[in-house]
Amino acid sequence: MYRTATGDDIFVLDGHTHLWDASPENQVNENGRGWIDCFYGYHKLFTPAERVWPIEHYEKYSVDDMTRDLFVDGYVDMCILQTTNLYDFYHTGFNPIERNALLKQAHPERVILNGSFDPRHGETGKLGLNALRRAKAEWDIQGVKLYTAEWHGDSKGWKLTDPAAKHFLAECEKLGITNIHVHKGPTIWPLNKDSFDVSDIDEVATEFQGLNFIVEHCGLPRIEDFCYIATQERNVYAGLAVVMPFARTRPRFFAEAMANLLYWLGPDKLLFSSDYAIWEPKWVIDAFMGSEMPEDLKAEFNVDLTLDVKTKILGLNAARLYGVDVSKKISQLRALPVTIGQHEMAEDRARFASA
């Protein structure tokens, strides 16, 4: 938990985390190399100099590393592990659900595991409808993470409004997979920026009222387009991954982004995300909690970053979407101190290979 200077404890649910393997031996081609190098560029640009990781550690880190960075040092009480497959770039995927499940197995009370789908895989493909059903049956997933710009063979992206995609969304609604996290933000090399356009959110949010659409990265650099969509759709939320680090490096830009999001969406539809391991939650949360809304933006937008607002963003909003009883969860976690086992990378890789 995060404790304020006045002694208030704040429950933290990190809504966007990953356990990835981008090591050279897992890279299929130059796209796998370029992908992690692009991530590492973002890491170095925003991270305090003393917290920058060596590239070798950034490419592959262990369950123990993640446990320490989130649950011991990083204030995080619970995290949501988001699946990113990229099988065209990585032999065993970047962070598929089987790999993410390693952290879930180590800390089941602290980890929410999300799956994924790709409508281009049809019924029986690796990320097809049958795989989605198996993920629900095996892990009881409540959400999926979607990458509409992911490459698959000759295809360099898809839209939520594609008929096949709507078929998958209908299956999610049927299965009770209600939280649809969609990457709609900065591009990562070699993907195409236009494939992350936010406009397809508008139609499917209206059509699928039983689903919540969490737009990760708030549509950056299209945050204004996102706000105009999200304000009219009751089931569209903002995931603050990528927005958050600006609190340290460009506080004015961060304040302007938050002023717009609070003005259009209100404080109940914004979800904290560190985007681990692009960044560590500790310094991100420290920067966020130390941020203030400038007086001119308070006056213009009639919003503020109060402690109540920050508390909702850091954990309460995501907890509501995922049915977490925060009071009960705090009591449970206080009775279960975090332990760090011997999850060496070689052991992790062996377990994943046999999954």
Domain boundary assignment for the chain: 11-354
pLDDT at 352 over 70: no
pLDDT at 227 over 90: yes
Average pLDDT of the residues in 81-107: 97
**In this structure, which CATH number among 3.20.20.140, 3.30.930.10, 3.40.309.10, 3.40.50.300 belongs to the domain 11-354?**
3.20.20.140
- Which pLDDT belongs to residue 328? 97
pTM beyond 0.85: yes
Helical spans, DSSP H, in 185-325: 199-207, 223-230, 246-249, 251-265, 281-289, 295-301, 307-311, 317-321
Q: What residue type is 107 in one-letter code?
A: H
Separation CA 109–CA 42 (nearest Å): 31
pLDDT at 344 over 50: no
- Which pLDDT belongs to residue 7? 92
pLDDT at 326 over 90: yes
Q: How confident is the model at residue 342 (pLDDT cuts 50, 70, 90)?
A: low
Q: Supply φ then ψ for residue 112, to 5 degrees.
A: -105, 125
Separation CA 74–CA 94 (nearest Å): 23
Beta strands in 117-199 (DSSP E): 143-146, 179-183
Q: How confident is the model at residue 341 (pLDDT cuts 50, 70, 90)?
A: confident
More confident residue, 126 or 21: 21
Q: How far is the CA of 152 from the CAs of 2, 64, 126, 193, 214, in angstroms?
A: 41, 32, 11, 16, 23
Average pLDDT of the residues in 183-191: 92
Q: How confident is the model at residue 347 (pLDDT cuts 50, 70, 90)?
A: very low
Average pLDDT of the residues in 21-49: 98
Kindly state the DSSP code that residue 297 receives in the 8-state scheme.
H
Kindly state the DSSP code that residue 312 receives in the 8-state scheme.
I
For residue 289 the two structure tokens come to: 């909690």
SS3 39: helix
Average pLDDT of the residues in 68-96: 97
pLDDT > 90: percent of the chain: 90
Average pLDDT of the residues in 196-219: 96
Q: How far is the CA of 315 from the CAs of 192, 199, 239, 282, 322, in angstroms?
A: 32, 28, 12, 15, 11
Average pLDDT of the residues in 150-172: 97
